[in-house]
Structure 1
Amino acid sequence: MADQKVFLHGLKSEHFRHPLDLQATRSLQQIPALDLVVRNLLGSVAEQFFYLENIASGILVSDRQLPDIHKLLVEACQVLDLEQPQLYIRQNPAPNAYTLAMRGKQPFIVVHTSLVDLLTPEELQAVIAHELGHLKCEHGVYLTLANLVVLAAGQFAPWGTLLAQSLQTQMMEWVRCAEFTCDRAALLVSQDPRVVASVLMKLTGGSPALAPLLNLDAFLDQARSYDQMSQGDLGQLLKEAQTSQLTHPLPVLRAREIDQWAQTQTYSDLLERRLMRYDDQATKGGWRNW
């Protein structure tokens, strides 16, 4: 971690929100009563189920339990000017992290042990910051629905099946756009684009054994090559076919996006604490994978 982090007091989600996220969110907001239905009919069930599951199956991080990881959380919340959620570590061989905050009660983040094994402390903080980005942007209602559609349909059948049939395409498009925003939150906390890109590289093809051997510059070149090879109509079609059912954009594209945003005046202004005026149009509440 850097010795001196810039704390972004007064930061709002609109200061760093990706334009694709804004556009996709407005599109979902046009669906009549979607926010109300998810929050009132599904929210309490999903929140209680996942909260109790993690309370029973995870280690709650605190100043007395895994204090070094707790410090990463505290600092990330200070940078993003965000109230501190609970953080749990769960035993799982699949590198992953997710967040829940459906109804504004006891928001929490879960990080799998395999992700801790894979990443450096700086990279782990970037993952935590990405999840905090979902809380900062109040992504919860739509993220809860997306998870029911894609990851938990079986547990909530027949709701999941019906939702998947009617909303899957639009929800997956929104989720992928929201991930770009939360990568920006990770960058605002790490304040080093190479740290965020390194996380994405390791999630693409890393392991505890391979991670020290990976070349970040080569990975960033790979991201640029992907863009160059997909400029034509066929390339665009292939990209859409590759991503249409994914919950996250392709890692190389996420690395390219964060590399480009790190070079913008907007990012520089934020680190220099020149916060912009904003209109708060955020949605409320949920959880989503890194």
Structure 2
Amino acid sequence: MAKKQFTGLKTEFYEHPFDHKALMSLERTPVLPLLLKKVNEYGIDRLLRMQITGGEFKVTPRNFPSLHDAFLEACHILDITPIPELFLFRGTGYIKAYAVGVEKPVVGINLEGMEWLSHDELLFVFGHEVARIKGKYLAYQQMAHVMPVVKNLISSTTLGIGGLAANGIEIALYNWMIMAKFTADRAGLLACQNLDVAITALMKLGGLPQEYLNEDTINDFVTQARAFEFNNLDSLGQFAKTFSFMEHLLPWTVMRASELLKWVDSGDYEDLLQGKELGSQQPENQEDDENWNFLSAWDGNS
């Protein structure tokens, strides 16, 4: 069955409310404009592109046709224009994908991603990555990845703002990176248009190879995801809440599956499939507001 193409799709139609609030909090951080300026001055964007184009395999319809077709389909479904370049890089022992490049975005996936994922699972992963481009997230995302180096570079200047982590910017970035995954996963589901596929893709992203996927492991994963309570964070201290999200590069697949299932259960995903446009959603109940409190504490004005 042909998949629905979302012509004119806007990020706010599927944006997760925690992502929205984390981004607003991040953008209110006073030091953010200076940090973005310094990242640009250091040429991080150009350096990342040079590393990719100089060391990875550019995917074309001729050399890796199946991979290229899946990527092109995901971009068309989510109305991504222009189509970014796609690169394949060496194996790492687990599935890894990325989107980088503010001025000229590129997407990459590793050998395991190409070999472990089915066509529709690739749609989910590629949908997740191109959502970062569609949402114009890449400037902040790249800043988070290079923060340790940039922080040291800035602290060595005469600017006198070396204590960025103490001011909340570093933690605010890492917290937002986690929240942004929820939005990107929604885009991934819109690309593959099959919740079962999204679940198995998340399991593989969590490190589980195909041979371990069966009815029991899948059902147990879904049960675990439904049992996961984001509001359990309320029982942790402020420091523990913050520290728990500093490992922003981890896949966090159970938590992500939990939030994706909630979105499907709410009916909003089906509404989008049926062509009903949804605006950026605010938390629907008090529990959601409480879940957010630990993030807003890291607003740059605090």
Question: Given the two structures, how large is their TM-score scaled by the length of structure 2?
Answer: 0.79
- Corresponding letter in the other structure for 1:95: I
Residue aligning to 1:283: none
Residue aligning to 1:252: 254
| Deviation by residue 1:209-264 (Cα, 9 ceiling, x = unmatched) | 53568721111111223339x75954788983773312157211111111121233
Closer, same or farther: CA 244–108 of 1 in aligned 2, 3 Å? same
Closer, same or farther: CA 232–142 of 1 in aligned 2, 3 Å? closer
Q: Percent of aligned pairs with the same residue? A: 26
- Corresponding letter in the other structure for 1:37: L
Could you tell me which of 43, 51, 54 is aligned with 1:53? 51
Worse-matched range after superposition: 122-131 or 157-166: 157-166
Residue aligning to 1:101: 101
Closer, same or farther: CA 232–75 of 1 in aligned 2, 3 Å? closer
Closer, same or farther: CA 205–99 of 1 in aligned 2, 3 Å? closer
Could you tell me which of 21, 38, 41 is aligned with 1:41? 38
Closer, same or farther: CA 142–226 of 1 in aligned 2, 3 Å? same
Cα distance in structure 2, aligned partners of 1:191 and 1:96:
21
Unaligned segments of structure 1, at least 5 residues: 279-290
- Corresponding letter in the other structure for 1:206: L
Matched position secondary structure for 1:47:
helix
Question: How far is 1:277 from its partner?
Answer: 6.2
Q: Which has the larger radius of gyration?
A: 2
Residue aligning to 1:8: 6
Cα distance in structure 2, aligned partners of 1:134 and 1:237:
29
Equivalent residue pairs, number:
270
| Deviation by residue 1:12-43 (Cα, 9 ceiling, x = unmatched) | 00000000011011111112362x43443213
Question: How far is 1:59 from its partner?
Answer: 1.0
Residue aligning to 2:212: 210
Question: How far is 1:265 from its partner?
Answer: 2.8
Unaligned segments of structure 2, at least 5 residues: 156-161, 281-302
- Corresponding letter in the other structure for 1:271: L
Question: Given the two structures, how large is their TM-score scaled by the length of structure 1?
Answer: 0.82
Matched position secondary structure for 1:76:
helix
Equivalent residues in 2 for 1:1-290, closer than 5 Å: 3-32=1-30, 34=32, 36-43=33-40, 45-83=43-81, 84-93=83-92, 94-102=94-102, 105-149=103-147, 153-154=148-149, 157-159=152-154, 163-164=164-165, 166=167, 167-207=169-209, 209-211=211-213, 215-227=217-229, 231=232, 234=235, 240=241, 243-247=244-248, 250-276=252-278
Closer, same or farther: CA 231–46 of 1 in aligned 2, 3 Å? closer
